[in-house]
Structure 1
Amino acid sequence: MLRRLRTRQVWLEISLLLVLLLGGCAARGTGPQDSSSKLDGAKYVPTLFFHGCGSSANAEMPMIRAAQRAGVTQTVVHATVAKDGHVSWRGRFKAGDEHPIVAVQFTANRDGDYQVTAGWAKNVITGLQKTYHITRFNMVGHSMGNMAMVFYLLKNARNTHLPQLQRQVDIAGHFNGILGINDRPNRMTLTAAGKPTKLDRDYQQLLALRQRYPRQARVLNIYGDLNNGTHSDGRVSNASSKSLRYLVAGRARSYQERRIVGPNAQHSKLHDNAQVNRLLIHFLWQK
């Protein structure tokens, strides 16, 4: 009887040891943290794409695919941000592919509270920092995505513990109003310094960027002009888009504007425009 008990105890100890060993192997699986430990985060400069109001990350895919065709990267990570700010990830950075793209999707894609969307953007950036230890990043925004970007910078540009912005591309930005809501064609004018003669509530908050915008960052501001007398892309006046200059040009390492003209310069067509693709690919990656 005693012999049987001892035998049983030995087998229990062996079983427990096997469980511990297998558990250790599972803990060292192929999750994002495991793959990131092999990467030198300082070498990786991801570019985050932010979509517009009522849209999705799918709208940014023509630009992303153009970057892939240009040989920038073959890595596209998808970050979906829930209404509560939780980020779900699909894909991961790959060794040697040091310019990955992150397609950001806001589930609540019509939320016009830019303090909230700025927090969502921060969650994506800090998630990349935690997983991949990045120290630098780029941003591309279309329409409302630009507001998530600039309000993120308004709140976080001085935080040296966060990754530092290198390059920013703004497409069809409505920094000081939207046609049909708080602006109308040819109403807004800019001073010689680029300041709007009338400031909406959001722009008044953004004025603090004149003291906060990161000095190392370069900015490319792309806007569309239908060339039909409205001086707009049909949704945003050129003056509203160009009002970004007054906020950042005095501090940014460089600032440039590019006007896209014609039917394909319409607001929602700018993120699927070959000329826009060429501009941002050259500006971001010198391709």
Structure 2
Amino acid sequence: MTGTMLRRLRTRQVWLEISLLLVLLLGGCAARGTGPQASSSKLDGAKYVPTLFFHGYGSSANAEMPMIRAAQRAGVTQTVVHATVAKDGHVSWRGRFKAGDEHPIVAVQFTANREGDYQVTAGWAKNVITGLQQTYHITRFNMVGHSMGNMAMVFYLLKNARNTHLPQLQRQVDIAGHFNGILGINDRPNRMTLTAAGKPTKLDRDYQQLLALRQRYPRQARVLNIYGDLNNGTHSDGSATRRRNRCATWWLDGHGRIRNDASWGQTPSTASCTTTRRSTAC
């Protein structure tokens, strides 16, 4: 077997395992612009818990489709609504919630997919959430983010987590989150360490803002934090180091302590994952 074929098989294995974790996590959960179209049947919004997928930098919602299709095959939902957010924040919708399918997926697409101002992308995320609230009267939701998508999510929470008039976050999945620096931009391999309590020894500007989440992060929310390792000595996935990814656990736990409850096995490109009270560190 060639090296290329082996890498493809490993990549496919990793995506399958990530998809399985998402199904286990999300399947357990029983705006400017016009709102999404509602089904002709009247829906009880309190019963619906949509899961929003946010793509990475320079990417698109298509990159999240392998995970979304896995959730469909597992029977989590058969409803996928597409929300496309223009640069000015206007949201265009395709699809609608369906009666009886109470865990729909919303695939979010940022048209300006290289926007680096996280306050802006957080505002776009809010437009999607409030659009769903206005149309379906949802009170709860989940989020899945990949790379930059994680930053849109956490900066949304930074500003809105305490707003009781908005839907409340239940579950969050962070994949390859660069919460405290990006290799080649403001970080280099093996530069940062973590204290025994999990606090990073170096904090970039964005992360310093996110420290406020230690007090604001929703108490009811559960988080799965997934990250990879190229096993090439950088202890990173090529963009963010494992320690930078693990920085999320410092502000996810209100006391800076992590309790390990369960674990998943090691794969060639993802570290083993251990669940905590409100987070999972890999």
Normalising by the smaller structure, the TM-score range is: 0.7 to 0.9
On the 8 A contact 1:37/1:132 being kept in 2, the answer is no
Change (3 A) 1:272 1:199: closer
In 1, Cα distance between equivalents of 2:192 and 2:14:
84
Structure label with greater radius of gyration = 1
**Greater helix proportion:** 1
Query: How far is 1:35 from its partner?
Result: 2.3
Query: How far is 1:168 from its partner?
Result: 0.3
On the 8 A contact 2:60/2:113 being kept in 1, the answer is yes
Query: How far is 1:169 from its partner?
Result: 0.3
In 2, Cα distance between equivalents of 1:242 and 1:11:
20
Q: Deviations over 1:99-124 (max 9, x none)?
A: 00000000000001000000000000
Change (3 A) 1:99 1:34: closer
Query: How far is 1:17 from its partner?
Result: 58
Change (3 A) 1:41 1:66: same
Change (3 A) 1:28 1:81: closer
Change (3 A) 1:13 1:27: farther
Q: Normalization by structure 2: what TM-score?
A: 0.77
In 1, Cα distance between equivalents of 2:246 and 2:41:
42
Q: Deviations over 1:165-222 (max 9, x none)?
A: 0000000000000000011111111111211101000000001001100001001100
Aligned pair count? 259
On the 8 A contact 2:23/2:71 being kept in 1, the answer is no
Look up the match of 1:198: 202
Equivalences for 1:67-78 in 2 at 5 Å?
67-78=71-82
Q: Normalization by structure 1: what TM-score?
A: 0.75
In 2, Cα distance between equivalents of 1:128 and 1:3:
39
On the 8 A contact 2:176/2:227 being kept in 1, the answer is yes
After superposing the two structures, state which structure 1 stretch, 231-240 or 33-42, moved more.
33-42
After superposing the two structures, state which structure 1 stretch, 169-178 or 6-15, moved more.
6-15
On the 8 A contact 1:136/1:163 being kept in 2, the answer is yes
Change (3 A) 1:273 1:31: farther
On the 8 A contact 2:31/2:90 being kept in 1, the answer is no
On the 8 A contact 2:55/2:148 being kept in 1, the answer is yes
Q: Structure 1: state its 5+ residue gaps.
A: 251-266, 275-284
In 2, Cα distance between equivalents of 1:224 and 1:95:
38
Look up the match of 1:123: 127
In 2, Cα distance between equivalents of 1:10 and 1:196:
27
Change (3 A) 1:189 1:87: same
After superposing the two structures, state which structure 1 stretch, 238-247 or 18-27, moved more.
18-27
In 2, Cα distance between equivalents of 1:222 and 1:178:
16
The runs of 4+ residues in structure 1 deviating greater than 2 Å are 1-37, 267-274
Change (3 A) 1:199 1:33: same
Q: Structure 2: state its 5+ residue gaps.
A: 265-282
